């Protein structure tokens, strides 16, 4: 007698999300795909910063722009987690990818990937910050107050959701051992929502996520120092002409130009202000933090 196993709720939910994503891709990208069917395909990877539907909505317009302004057709490839996004890059499934700072460092050390561009923020500078967030009515007033509290971090390989906030706590005299508990959640949005629900006393997220949820009942307990913007990277085997086409297309965008601003308004919040060239040297601080934090990422907390 055979037995049919039921899918778990989480796996069924994930398949439903990806099914809906495929429908969106067919409905929304059809004309662009038809017009560019004869172009060579470049697969563009992205780490899973949000759920699949949100990821497609925010990143597909960038693929459409690159397809229209280069000799290539760009197809989005979203990893189910940070590790899969790195695997895609290592194996050549993707040639270009948008990584976090920590994932870039790992990919560079293991596979020799190189940074090519970094996004600008609303002030026109290539930096962002990590935020420690709490509920608006929380009695907590500083990082030292997190002793004995439950804290939610972002994904293990997240720079602003895991590496930097752990360093921020340690630097303010709150090692992980002093917390009541800590957990790594899958997305920054999941951290913010968990804080709003009262599941944790505090959480760590990227600045744009913190700012999005402030009107919904959160406040920022502490900010990190500026962090170099998350890089667009290329495999070392990616043809130079592909890298040149991407950098030329993206560097010519200027958020101060009304036409460019309108074009980019549907792009992910991290990419809608334009780009600057990126160098490996821009991320030396991240290399150092991963290697040197006592009782932290220096011993592999991002794994």
Cα distance between residue 125 and residue 104, in whole Å: 20
CA 82 – CA 273 distance, rounded (Å): 24
The pLDDT value given to residue 37: 73
pLDDT in tens, 134-151: 999 999 999 999 999 999
pLDDT along the chain (303 residues), means of 10: 41 54 52 68 91 88 97 94 91 94 90 95 93 97 97 92 92 94 93 97 95 96 93 95 98 96 94 95 86 50 48
Summarised one tens digit per residue, pLDDT across range 10-48 is 455 555 555 555 555 545 555 555 556 789 999 999 988
- For the entire predicted model, the pTM comes to 0.75
Instruction: Count Cβ atoms below 10 Å from residue 242 Cβ, excluding itself.
Output: 18
275-277, strands of its sheet edge to edge: 73-78, 41-46, 96-98, 232-234, 114-119, 275-277
User: For the chain, how many helices (H) and strands (E)?
Assistant: 11, 13
* Domains observed in the chain: 19-125+229-288 (3.40.190.10), 130-225 (3.40.190.10)
Instruction: Identify the bridge partners of residue 119 per DSSP, sorted by sequence position.
Output: 275
């Amino acid at each position: 007698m055979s037995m049919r196993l039921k899918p778990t709720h989480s796996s069924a939910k994930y398949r439903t999300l990806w099914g809906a994503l495929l429908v969106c891709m067919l409905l929304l990208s059809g004309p662009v795909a038809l017009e560019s069917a004869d172009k060579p395909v470049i697969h563009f990877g992205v780490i899973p910063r949000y759920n699949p539907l949100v990821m497609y909505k925010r990143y597909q317009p960038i693929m459409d722009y690159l397809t229209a302004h280069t000799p290539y057709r760009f197809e989005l490839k979203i990893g189910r987690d940070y590790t899969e996004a790195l695997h895609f890059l290592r194996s050549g499934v993707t040639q270009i990818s948008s990584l976090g700072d920590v994932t870039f460092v790992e990919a560079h050390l293991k596979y020799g990937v190189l940074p090519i561009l970094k996004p600008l923020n609303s002030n026109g500078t290539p930096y962002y910050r990590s935020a420690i967030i709490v509920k608006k009515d929380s009695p907590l007033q500083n990082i030292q107050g997190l002793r004995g509290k439950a804290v939610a971090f972002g994904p293990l390989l997240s720079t602003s959701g895991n590496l930097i906030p752990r360093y921020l706590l340690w630097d303010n005299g709150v090692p992980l051992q002093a917390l009541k508990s800590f957990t790594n959640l899958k997305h920054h949005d999941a951290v913010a929502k968990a804080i709003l629900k009262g599941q944790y006393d505090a959480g760590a997220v990227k600045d744009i996520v913190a700012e999005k949820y402030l009107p919904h009942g959160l406040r920022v307990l502490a900010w990190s120092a500026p962090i170099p913007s998350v890089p667009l990277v290329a495999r070392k085997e990616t043809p130079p002409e592909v890298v040149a086409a991407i950098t030329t297309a993206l560097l010519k965008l200027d958020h101060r130009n009304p036409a460019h601003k309108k074009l980019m308004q549907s792009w992910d919040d991290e990419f809608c202000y334009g780009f600057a060239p990126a160098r490996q040297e821009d991320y030396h601080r991240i290399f150092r933090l991963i290697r040197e934090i006592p009782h932290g990422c220096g011993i592999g907390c991002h794994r």
